[in-house]
Amino acid sequence: MNTVTVAGPGPAHGPRPAAPLGQAVGQAEASLTRLLSGVLAEWDTSRETYLALQRLAALGGQASRDAYENDLADWLDLDAQAARALTARLAAAGLAAEQDGTIALTGPGRARREGILAAAAQVTGPLLAALDHDDVATTIRTLNEITRRARGIPARRTTTEGNS
């Protein structure tokens, strides 16, 4: 069994079992999401808008509208109508523009995304600076590979508690 040693005062110090991967990733995601939410509030930007800007940047800053909306639907788990509406909201806000069936980041869209990334780096920079660079790089590669593999597994049908 893997263990981690927690140093410091209180009953939590000493060896204890390492958290299972899903729990560790979930806890890290929740903590980082909390920090990102504060940055997004400063930029008056919803998480969905930020993620949409990130996805368009991941596609090189522009893509056919169909390809972009399919990407949004896939990565953000949206239906086609919600992906179209999100694309329309980005365009209405001046963060993206469509021309001849291609959607592209605008100057203000790029600036907002870059500003959010810079503000987030100010918050997370000290946190990551205390960690070994190679460990962080390995973690990123590992999480990217887990994501790639998990995306290849068909999703199971979901139900709400009490409704089977």
* pLDDT score of 159: 67
Are the beta carbons of 27 and 19 closer than 8 angstroms? yes
Distance CA 59, CA 56 (A): 5
The token duo for 19 is 């958290």
* pLDDT score of 1: 46
What letter does residue 156 receive in the DSSP assignment? Answer: P
6-26 tens-digit pLDDT: 444 445 556 666 668 888 889
User: What's the whole-number mean pLDDT along residues 41-57?
Assistant: 97
Full-model pTM:
0.77
* pLDDT score of 17: 66
Angle at 75 (CA atoms; ends 47, 108), nearest 5 degrees: 45
Q: Strand, coil or helix: what is 62?
A: strand
Are the beta carbons of 86 and 50 closer than 8 angstroms? no
User: What's the whole-number mean pLDDT along residues 117-146?
Assistant: 93
Q: Which domains does the chain have, with CATH numbers?
A: 22-151 (1.10.10.10)
User: What's the whole-number mean pLDDT along residues 117-121?
Assistant: 96
Residue 105: burial class (beta carbons within 10 Å; 0-12, 13-18, 19+): buried
CA distances from 76 to 47, 55, 68 (A): 11, 9, 11
Amino acid identity of 91? A
CA distances from 96 to 63, 82, 113, 115, 134 (A): 11, 16, 11, 16, 36
